[in-house]
């Protein structure tokens, strides 16, 4: 009886001392991450992308490889022992293997970048396997960059759920909420708006700003009407960029001259680099692939 009692005590101590392993550990990691992160949901209807924004993350490490959505395959970056490395060992898809052989990256010959620390990300997918956590990440628009981030962990009791959560926090954490003491983030760099308005003049008609993949019909009709009536106007179009914030615009001045402008900024609060071109006369505007009007032929 005494031996049996000590056996129960030993089993109880083992359960208490050693953390959960196997499926229990996987479930505990999944529970903790689901409590911390909310996925962003993106769906496309026609030319409009609907976004239900979830958690916004801040990247703390340099060198996460990401590429545009038309890549051969999204790159998988492993974070282990404080450093990133490209995961190419599990490539089974023939297109991925060919892309690696030809370009040295699963992205293939498309826009790609090792993104810098400080950028904000959305989580589109989050999965917990027996020995790793995988996140599908997307840099917030207007960037068109995606990537997979993999966090290996040791199953069988050597890792705990808290260990895994701490490792992930070395790379990404939730963006702190904006408080009253923080300056508001400008929706657009001011320089482009100032240039358009000053070029068109104080009494010019504002034909609006068209968002990425937005319907430009009303703005374009406004521009064409003002142009046909020889009235000053200005309009702005947001354009999807790979690693910068882009926009184009048109400004019609009081003397009938029309100018086309392009801006390029590296962040929301950065002053953009703006180029201005005078449209040839007679002015003929046509819609570009993005829907934005342009006088370029």
What does each C-alpha distance from 87 to 69, 117, 283 come to in angstroms?
Answer: 19, 20, 52
Closest C-alpha to 124, from 177, 56, 32, 64 = 56
- Give the pLDDT score at 103: 56
Residue reference for tokens 């293939």: 108
Are the C-beta atoms of 218 and 293 separated by less than 8 Å?
A: no
Are the C-beta atoms of 214 and 281 separated by less than 8 Å?
A: no
pLDDT band at residue 280, thresholds of 50, 70 and 90? very high
Closest C-alpha to 263, from 105, 116, 142, 122 = 142
pLDDT in tens, 207-259: 999 988 788 999 999 999 999 999 999 999 988 766 667 889 999 998 889 99
Residue reference for tokens 């032929």: 297
Q: Assess whether pLDDT exceeds 90 at residue 260.
A: yes
- Give the pLDDT score at 13: 46
Tell me how far apart the alpha carbons of residues 83 and 77 are, in angstroms, rounded to a whole number: 10
- Give the pLDDT score at 11: 45
Q: Assess whether pLDDT exceeds 70 at residue 188.
A: no
Q: Which pTM value belongs to this model?
A: 0.55
Tell me how far apart the alpha carbons of residues 166 and 28 are, in angstroms, rounded to a whole number: 14
The domain ranges of the chain are: 19-174, 190-294
- Give the pLDDT score at 33: 94
The DSSP-derived string for 230-283 is T--EEEEEEE-BSSSEEEEEEEE-TTS-EEEEEEEESSTTSPPEEEEEEPPSS-
Mean pLDDT across 257-281: 80
- Give the pLDDT score at 23: 73
**H-run or E-run covering 58:** strand 56-59
Are the C-beta atoms of 100 and 114 separated by less than 8 Å?
A: no
- Give the pLDDT score at 22: 58
Tell me how far apart the alpha carbons of residues 113 and 86 are, in angstroms, rounded to a whole number: 13
Tell me how far apart the alpha carbons of residues 125 and 296 are, in angstroms, rounded to a whole number: 40
Q: Assess whether pLDDT exceeds 60 at residue 180.
A: no
- Give the pLDDT score at 151: 93
Mean pLDDT across 289-294: 88
Beta-carbon count within 10 A of 44 CB: 9
- Give the pLDDT score at 205: 93
Mean pLDDT across 33-57: 79
The DSSP-derived string for the chain is -HHHHHHHHHHHHHHHHSPP-THHHHHHHHHHHHHH----EEEEETTEEEEE---EEEE-SS-EEEE-TTSSS--EEEEETTEEEE--TT---HHHHHHHHHHSSTT-SS-EEEEPTT-EEEEEEEEE-SSEEEEEEEEPTTB--EEEEEEE--TTTTS-HHHHHHHHHTTEEEPPPP-TTSPPPPSS-HHHHHHHHHHH-TT-EEEEEEPTT---HHHHHHHHHHHHTT--EEEEEEE-BSSSEEEEEEEE-TTS-EEEEEEEESSTTSPPEEEEEEPPSS---EE-TTS-EE---
Q: Assess whether pLDDT exceeds 50 at residue 189.
A: no
pLDDT band at residue 146, thresholds of 50, 70 and 90? confident
Mean pLDDT, the chain, integer: 78
pLDDT in tens, 118-135: 778 889 999 998 889 999
- Give the pLDDT score at 135: 94
Give the residue with greater pLDDT, 145 vs 210. Answer: 210
Q: Assess whether pLDDT exceeds 90 at residue 296.
A: no
pLDDT band at residue 68, thresholds of 50, 70 and 90? confident
Q: Which of 52-61, 158-167, 172-181 has the lowest mean pLDDT?
A: 172-181
- Give the pLDDT score at 267: 57
Mean pLDDT across 38-66: 80
pLDDT band at residue 97, thresholds of 50, 70 and 90? low
- Give the pLDDT score at 268: 53
């Amino acid at each position: 009886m005494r031996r049996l009692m000590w056996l129960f005590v030993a089993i109880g101590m083992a359960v208490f001392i050693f953390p959960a392993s196997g499926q229990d550990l996987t479930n505990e990691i999944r529970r903790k991450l689901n409590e911390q992160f909310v996925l962003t949901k993106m769906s496309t209807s026609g030319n409009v992308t609907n976004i239900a924004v979830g958690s916004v993350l801040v990247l703390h490490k340099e060198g996460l490889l990401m590429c545009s959505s038309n890549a051969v395959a999204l790159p998988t970056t492993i974070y282990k022992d404080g450093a990133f490395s490209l995961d190419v060992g599990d490539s089974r898809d023939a297109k991925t293997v060919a892309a690696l052989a030809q370009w040295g990256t699963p992205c293939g010959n498309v826009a790609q970048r090792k993104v810098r620390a400080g950028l904000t990300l959305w989580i589109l997918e989050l999965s917990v396997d027996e020995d790793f956590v995988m996140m599908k990440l997307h840099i917030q628009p207007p960037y068109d960059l995606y990537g997979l981030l993999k966090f290996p962990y040791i199953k069988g009791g050597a890792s705990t759920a808290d260990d895994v959560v701490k490792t992930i926090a070395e790379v990404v954490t939730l963006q702190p909420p904006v408080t009253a003491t923080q300056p508001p983030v400008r929706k657009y760099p001011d320089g482009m708006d100032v240039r358009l308005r000053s070029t068109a003049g104080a009494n010019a008609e504002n034909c609006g700003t068209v968002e990425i993949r937005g319907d430009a019909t009303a703005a374009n009709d406004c521009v064409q009407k003002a142009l046909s009536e020889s009235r000053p106007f200005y309009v702005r179009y947001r354009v999807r960029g790979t690693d910068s914030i882009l926009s184009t615009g048109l400004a019609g001045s009081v003397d009938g001259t029309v100018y086309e402008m392009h801006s390029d900024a590296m962040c929301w609060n950065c002053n953009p680099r703006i180029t201005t071109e005078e449209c040839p006369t007679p002015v003929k505007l046509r819609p570009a692939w993005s829907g934005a009007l342009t006088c370029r032929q």
